[in-house]
Amino acid sequence: MTTPDAFESLFQPVLVGRVWLKNRLVVPPMGTQFADPSGAVTDRLIAYLVERARGGFGLVIPGYAFIEESMRRGMANQIGAHNDHMIPGLNRLAEALQAGGAKTFLQLCHTGRQADPAMVEGGQPVAPSPVPMGKDGVVPRELTLAEIEDIIEAFGQAARRARDAGFDGVELHGAHGYLLCQFMSEYTNRRADKYGGSFHERMTLPLVLHPLLRHEEHLLLLRRSGSPLVSSAGHWRGRAFPGGRKEELHHRYRGCR
């Protein structure tokens, strides 16, 4: 098959950290709801993703996995990386993707204020600060320092499970308005402790996670939104949508990019 010169490099191998990808074609993480209700990998999930690996993608990242039981999900039938019972299923998935010719990273996510309240213990999601989800929306509960320590531990354990299961790396979901994005954003992070303040202070949580999660042969990626778009006052591109639906929707789906 001939490819136009402009696309030639897409098909060249690339070294990412210490992991060689056979080409630069990536299936990005997309939640399929094909896990079972406990979070365990199913045959259906494996079959769906392996088809992409066999199709020739160099890297396949399954949809986001939750890291702890109590504040877990953005959606039902999400992949779980929250306890060791998940490891055998994750291992079957990783090995099937690798046998299909792809490398694979497990994306780890805490949804924070974007958790579905119906799926959260007590019905109130947690967040860096109690910034409501839009006009008349759910007000999340501010995380205590002890709870942030627990979340750091949960990310560390989930990354260890990904390694034990044979994934080539881990991707932290720091985009799309989820918890790590909420810490990085001046709109959703109003904390006065070490996790809030200037840009560098708002980066504290991802930076604390970095050495904890990074291991020699195991790659760590941070998926990050490109631009916050929403200012600390809730302005979007200079226009005010104070507490309004448009501003919130934008923040939720695009605002942290």
Which residues have CB under 8 Å from 35's CB, separation 6+? Answer: 41, 42, 45, 77, 78, 79, 80
Choose the stretch contacting ligand FMN; rule: CB under 6 A; options: 25-33, 50-58, 149-157, 159-167.
25-33
User: Residue 220: helix, strand or coil by DSSP?
Assistant: strand
User: Whose Cβ is closer to ligand FMN: residue 94's or residue 191's?
Assistant: 94
- The type of residue at 177 is G
Among residues 48, 64, 178, 253, the one annotated as catalytic is 178
> Shortest approach of ligand FMN to residue 179 CB, angstroms?
13
Choose the stretch contacting ligand FMN; rule: CB under 6 A; options: 28-36, 129-137, 157-165, 179-187.
28-36
Among 34, 64, 167, 236, binds ligand FMN (CB under 6 A): 64
> Shortest approach of ligand FMN to residue 211 CB, angstroms?
23
Choose the stretch contacting ligand FMN; rule: CB under 6 A; options: 5-13, 26-34, 132-140, 193-201.
26-34
Residue 205's φ and ψ, nearest 5 degrees, are -65, -50
Among 154, 47, 167, 173, which residue's Cα sits nearest to residue 107? Answer: 173
Is-contact 79 41, C-beta < 8 A?
yes
User: Residue 3: helix, strand or coil by DSSP?
Assistant: coil
User: Whose Cβ is closer to ligand FMN: residue 104's or residue 107's?
Assistant: 107
Dihedral sign from CA coordinates of 68, 74, 76, 81: negative
Is-contact 172 110, C-beta < 8 A?
no
Kindly write out the interface string for residues 186-215 of this chain, putting x where it contacts ligand FMN by CB under 6 A and - elsewhere.
Answer: ------------------------------
- Length of the chain measured in residues: 257
Q: Is 223 in the site for ligand FMN (CB under 6 A)?
A: yes
Question: What is the distance between the alpha carbons of residues 12 and 33, in angstroms, rounded to a whole number?
Answer: 32
Among 72, 103, 160, 173, binds ligand FMN (CB under 6 A): 173
User: Whose Cβ is closer to ligand FMN: residue 184's or residue 241's?
Assistant: 184
Told to judge if 178 belongs to the known catalytic residues of this protein, a careful annotator would answer yes
Residues classed as catalytic: 178
Site for ligand FMN, rule CB under 6 A: 28-31, 63-64, 107, 173, 175, 223
